[in-house]
Structure 1
Amino acid sequence: MSNIIEPLVGQIATRIRAERNRHRWTLAQLAEASGVSRAMISRIENGESSPTAVVLGKLSAAFQLSVSELLALAEQSASQDSDRSAGLTRRARATEWCDPDTGYRRRQISGATFPAEVSEICLPAGARVAYPAAAFAFIRQVIWVLDGHLTFHEGATVHELDTGDTLELAEPAPCAFHNSTEAECRYAVIVTRTSSRP
């Protein structure tokens, strides 16, 4: 069983503050770019609040990072697997990030030097996580359902995906991952970047 990392408050706070400083943005500027309130960003950066998956999606879109990139440093510092540098991560020692709002769990499969980002997501029964179109403006993404049923909203289009189904996303659109069933859904997300970081 992997180690579930409850919200990684300190590490995420450090990463978000570092990205904001890299862009030379004030709190107000990041709030405007992301649609997340200035007060919420301040609480996150001060380690007073645990960001949800939806909030992380909005912040990552503003920074033109994937959620995987935004969480990467936090996960790396929390990882207990000394073999990661050799390309090996034991399942029993892998770390997961858990959304404090929905219980959504996310595990990074690929390492920092791999040319694609591969993540495994476990979406609890009834959970729904939405992301703005801007979160997909600079990446290509494939969703692969590993177990269960996933309702994926891609703009106005709704895809019903079962175990083994894959979906390659088209042009950027607001998206939502929804598990409308009574059982957990597990899926993989494979992301490649279409442009370099600003």
Structure 2
Amino acid sequence: MRDELAPDPLESRLATRLARLRAEQGLSLEVLAERTAISRATLSRLERGEASPTAAMLGRLCAAYGRTLSWLMREVEESAPPLVPAAAQPCWTDPETGFRRRTVSPPGPGLRGEMLEGRLPPGAAIAYADSPQPGLEHHLWLLEGALELTVEGVTHRLSPGDCLRYRLHGATRFHCPPGGGAARYVLALCQP
């Protein structure tokens, strides 16, 4: 069991990568705060590893940097071999909503696709203001629970076994209705 006072290695690498991305793009904290609607103080704390970003924050940061969340996470996760055992698949939990993201098949050199598993608790919602890469192909297969997925203003209500396919150009909102179990899904992303 990991010492609760010791920093999480993945979160430490994420903080370092966020700071480097801002430096690589020559952005001040003020400019990045304006582009993302995340306060300068919060951005500074994220880059120093003093705070954990939420899924919504990471979505806004990825949009500002022109990356998908998966590509950002790939940059901070350890590289994966062709076979990715379940125990080696990195997981991340949004501290605000309890959303859990597991990288089942990370992006890699020469590969255009990736797969993620998402688990959204009942009553929780995550909204992304924009697509970090317009036109990115998505295939969402709901395994358990119920999910309301709003893509560019159109809400789709999914039941177990349903698959929603779309190219994303704008905002999305994932919502697990209260009263049932968690929404568990697989999301396949394909680079254009």
TM more than 0.5:
yes
Give the SS at the match of 2:174.
Answer: strand
Q: For residues 65 and 171 of structure 1, what CA distance do their matches in structure 2 show?
A: 13
Higher relative contact order (CA 8 A, sep 6+): 1
Q: 1:183 aligns with which of 168, 181, 187?
A: 181
Q: 1:102 aligns with which of 89, 97, 106?
A: 97
Give the SS at the match of 1:169.
Answer: strand
Q: 2:138 aligns with which of 132, 136, 141?
A: 141
Q: For residues 134 and 183 of structure 1, what CA distance do their matches in structure 2 show?
A: 28
Q: For residues 26 and 88 of structure 1, what CA distance do their matches in structure 2 show?
A: 40
Q: For residues 123 and 6 of structure 1, what CA distance do their matches in structure 2 show?
A: 22
Counterparts in 2 of 1:42-121, with a 5 A limit?
A: 42-76=44-78, 84-85=80-81, 87-111=82-106, 112-113=108-109, 114-121=111-118
Q: Is the CA contact (8 Å cut-off) linking 1:6 and 1:97 kept in structure 2? A: no
Q: For residues 6 and 191 of structure 1, what CA distance do their matches in structure 2 show?
A: 27
- Following TM superposition, by how much is the alpha carbon of 1:42 offset from its aligned partner in structure 2, in angstroms? 0.6
Unaligned runs of 5+ residues in structure 2 are: 1-6
- Following TM superposition, by how much is the alpha carbon of 1:38 offset from its aligned partner in structure 2, in angstroms? 1.4
Residues 125/171 of structure 1: CA separation in 2 closer, same or farther (3 Å cut): closer
Partner of 1:160: 157
Residues 29/138 of structure 1: CA separation in 2 closer, same or farther (3 Å cut): farther
Q: For residues 171 and 126 of structure 1, what CA distance do their matches in structure 2 show?
A: 24
Residue type at the aligned position of 1:105: R
Residues 117/8 of structure 1: CA separation in 2 closer, same or farther (3 Å cut): same
Q: For residues 191 and 166 of structure 2, what CA distance do their matches in structure 1 show?
A: 13
Post-superposition CA distance 1:18-41 (Å, at most 9, x none): 211221211122222222221111
Post-superposition CA distance 1:142-180 (Å, at most 9, x none): 211122211011232110011111112245221100000
- Following TM superposition, by how much is the alpha carbon of 1:117 offset from its aligned partner in structure 2, in angstroms? 2.2
Residues 138/29 of structure 1: CA separation in 2 closer, same or farther (3 Å cut): farther
Residue type at the aligned position of 1:58: R
Q: For residues 144 and 166 of structure 1, what CA distance do their matches in structure 2 show?
A: 4
Q: For residues 106 and 162 of structure 1, what CA distance do their matches in structure 2 show?
A: 20
Q: For residues 171 and 75 of structure 1, what CA distance do their matches in structure 2 show?
A: 25
Q: For residues 56 and 171 of structure 1, what CA distance do their matches in structure 2 show?
A: 17
Aligned residues: 183
Post-superposition CA distance 1:85-139 (Å, at most 9, x none): 2x11221343211111111111112232332121111111111010012435252
Q: For residues 177 and 7 of structure 1, what CA distance do their matches in structure 2 show?
A: 28
Per the normalisation by structure 1, the TM-score is 0.84
Residue type at the aligned position of 2:35: A
Residue type at the aligned position of 2:94: D
